[in-house]
Amino acid sequence: MTVVDPEPMSQLELHDDRLFAGDPAQRGVARELYDHVRDLPLICPHGHVDPALLAENRPFANPAELLVIPDHYIIRMLYSHGVGLEDLGVPSRDGVRVEADPRRVWRRLAQHWPAFRGTPTRLWLEHVLRQTFGVRVPLAPHTADDVYDQVADCLAREEFRPRALFERFNVEALATTEPALDPLAHHRAIASSEWGGRVVTTFRPDDVVDIARPGWADAVARLGEVTGTETHTYPGYLQALAERRAFFQRHGATATDHGHPTARTVDLDVADAARLYQRALSGETDAADAECFRGHMLTEFARMSCEDGLVLQLHPGSWRDHNERVHAGFGPDMGADIPAPTDYVHGLRPLLNRFGNDPRLTFVVFTLDESTYSRELAPLAGHYPAMLLGPAWWFHDSPEGLRRFRELTTETAGFYNTVGFNDDTRSFPQIPARHDVARRVDCAFLARLVVEHRLPLHEAAETAVDLAYRIPKRVYRL
């Protein structure tokens, strides 16, 4: 069926010049810039790695559980090509029989590997296979078993346990993300172990803030219990949140994170907020109330950040669980979250007017709506002292997406109103690949500025190092 006769590619290669422009002058400068950053330690100020991995340091189970099943980029793409989530070993909620053989899951990935041409998943996974596991053949149906075996063999060895990889990856600091009620036992275990890796938590209070979530009132009651505070009043609720933030800080947290459907913020006066809170506890609120309360609490969290110094991160604009059937069958985070247009200029104004000029606040804003980069986000970050731009996120954490981020924000916000790279990943083994892609894309962008005589080489080199290392370390206090 193929009209092209493919030359056999005998080797899986990670070319030294990957992601650099073809033009020799630009490529030469990109190489030179990249030499300054390729070996810098990784600062990972925002991500979703499970801290149990590093607390327990057990071997990873098998290639499919490590690299396929928990990766929503991979399972959504395979699902879009007709592969059932149950056939990928994704645990089902509704009793559907799920593939139990990880090797068969892996073969399904190999079979649909062409679907990933041109995607960042292709780059990330090849980086992991080649660099971490030493795989030398391209993934394909006829190589699937060999690749599986090679990765599986590695996983059985001591030097592929999580802590060994953490060190080999040269991670200087890794932030995980936990909900407000998490006891942080894994972080305590890591801290009290003899191991020296720096793993900190991040305070993510969505479950105790979003009054529209089922179980919110129970979560708030538990919040009262764990903090020993009366959360049946609004002041008590605020007090409990402040105490919980302090608890997270004692476990290393330097930031909070907030995943909201929109970028709306609200600045209610205390009496109105208290009344809304009471109505929420009584279950008398609707969707508009929930949006209002979430927006108000962002402003409250900005106030708390001014006091305790935690960086405030806002990740808005995803319609979660767009596909009802998938959500019913398999739950959240199955690759069915779809971005929606996001309004920052009106949405952020209440918060920014209250705290945007406060030198104590660091407010990092992300987006899934690239049309806002040049229209709203760069102008806001290029004016308000408190506001910085998070890097290209999620669907846009990719070569083209990272490039667009720089092209669309730099001229208005500069480089120094951005916070460097966040890998934001659940996939521990992909961390080096993601940082490498971001470093290469930033070097390629800077190389263009150099070649077009918009920035001298030595300033570009300093900027590359700032973006890769110094800025995230400073902004996130890591």
| Segment near its own copies (CB under 8 A); pick from 174-182, 242-250, 287-295, 378-386 | 378-386
287 binds its own copies (CB under 8 A): no
Q: Which of 313, 417, 422, 430 binds its own copies (CB under 8 A)?
A: 417
Q: What is the C-alpha to C-alpha distance for residues 118 and 203, in angstroms, rounded to an integer?
A: 35
Q: Which of 217, 382, 426, 473 binds its own copies (CB under 8 A)?
A: 382
- Map the footprint of its own copies across residues 25-44, applying CB under 8 A: 25-26, 36, 40
Structure tokens at 80: 């879009």
What is the contact mask toward its own copies in residues 226 to 255, using x (rule: CB under 8 A)? Answer: ------------------------------
Q: What is the C-alpha to C-alpha distance for residues 338 and 323, in angstroms, rounded to an integer?
A: 9
| Segment near its own copies (CB under 8 A); pick from 49-57, 114-122, 148-156, 209-217 | 114-122
Q: What is the C-alpha to C-alpha distance for residues 198 and 220, in angstroms, rounded to an integer?
A: 30
Vertex 130: Cα angle to 433 and 196 (nearest 5): 55
| Segment near its own copies (CB under 8 A); pick from 100-108, 180-188, 307-315, 405-413 | 405-413
Q: Is there a contact between 442 and 467 (Cβ–Cβ < 8 Å)? A: yes
412 binds its own copies (CB under 8 A): yes
Q: Which of 57, 338, 426, 473 binds its own copies (CB under 8 A)?
A: 338
Overall size of the chain counted in residues: 478
- Map the footprint of its own copies across residues 305-324, applying CB under 8 A: 319, 322-324
- Map the footprint of its own copies across residues 424-463, applying CB under 8 A: 448-449, 451-459, 461-463
Burial 2-18 (b: 16+ CB within 10 A, else e): eeeeeeeeeebeeeeee
195 binds its own copies (CB under 8 A): no
Tell me, what amino acid is at 240? A
Residue whose pair of structure tokens reads 């793409």 in the numeric block? 77
- CB of residue 417 vs its own copies: minimum separation in angstroms? 6
Sign of the torsion formed by the C-alpha atoms of 355, 358, 364 and 365: positive
| Segment near its own copies (CB under 8 A); pick from 41-49, 171-179, 224-232, 339-347 | 339-347
- Map the footprint of its own copies across residues 132-191, applying CB under 8 A: 138
196 binds its own copies (CB under 8 A): no
Q: Which of 58, 81, 157, 213 binds its own copies (CB under 8 A)?
A: 81
Determine how β-strand 318-319 pairs with β-strand 178-179. unpaired
Structure tokens at 75: 């399972």
Q: What is the C-alpha to C-alpha distance for residues 197 and 50, in angstroms, rounded to an integer?
A: 15
Select from 250, 263, 273 the least CA-distant residue to 203. 250
- CB of residue 174 vs its own copies: minimum separation in angstroms? 21
